[in-house]
Amino acid sequence: MTDTGPGSRAVKLEPGWRDALAAEFESDYMENLRGFLLQEKSRGKRIFPAGENIFNALNSTPLDKVKLVILGQDPYHGPGQAHGLCFSVLPGVDVPPSLQNIYKELREDVGFKAPGHGYLQFWAEQGVLLLNAVLTVEAHKAGSHQGEGWERFTDRIVHILNEQRQNLVFLLWGAYAQKKGAFIDGHRHLVLKSPHPSPLSASRGFFGNRHFSRANAYLIETGQQPIDWQLPESAVIMQEREDIESVHENEGVHE
């Protein structure tokens, strides 16, 4: 399979994001990040997620389709977990504790019934951008790729959304996400903040925040389709969108 991460020369990206982020891929910091990832791989280190999933959040939720943004921090660092969407894990993997708490709040807030999986692709396909601040990690080493350039790249993504879109919902859970999103225009968008859903902090204000119903109320108020938060009981790996496949075959971004 072709490597589609920044460690390769051709980044395959949804056209709207590709155009909006073209200057980033030409920048010195992204060249340095590419070099870092290539060096880590040459040393035999295992990196998650797989190359084709590094930009899954952007490829699953096109720039002009984003309705809601959830900011995470790092990809999961265990085998088979990360696939490029924050808080989400691949089918067949145990639901992580933070996501279990998200499910609990959804149940109390909107009557959600927890499925037997933690695969959130269904949300991403509806316009929920599930964006981590750092898009790669070394196996079994949490935070190992922090400070290598990803934070600058994802800051730019949030800036683009803040400036080019209107009436988005941003869910900022925990101090890290709130700091990253501190510049978001609260008059132009709805910004909802609470503690992180981690077991260490969920009881200090994540539970009871009702962010999911509040987000949908705002979307309806601004003339948008609300998010169907209820995940399918059966998690099936969805086929890539036809436009993404077209980009993979014919276009790409070449640095």
Question: Which residues are known to be catalytic?
Answer: 74
List beta partners, residue 131. Answer: 71
Give the chain's length. 255
- Indicate the DSSP class of residue 90: -
Please give the structure tokens belonging to residue 196: 């992180």
Instruction: Give all strands (DSSP E) within the chain, no chain letters.
Output: 10-11, 47-48, 68-72, 128-132, 137-138, 169-173, 190-194, 253-254
Residue 142 buriedness (CB in 10 A; 0-12 / 13-18 / 19+) = middle
Choose among 240, 244, 253: nearest CA to 83.
240
Torsion angle of C-alpha atoms 117, 120, 121, 123, degrees rounded to 10: 140
- The closest alpha carbon to 159, from 183, 179, 194, 133, belongs to 183
Of the candidates 8, 14, 2, the one whose C-alpha atom is nearest the C-alpha of residue 157 is 14
CA angle 234, 60, 44 (to 5 degrees): 90
Give the number of other Cβ atoms within 10 Å of residue 143's Cβ.
12
- Distance, in Å, from the CA atom of 119 to the CA atom of 103, rounded to the nearest integer, reads 12
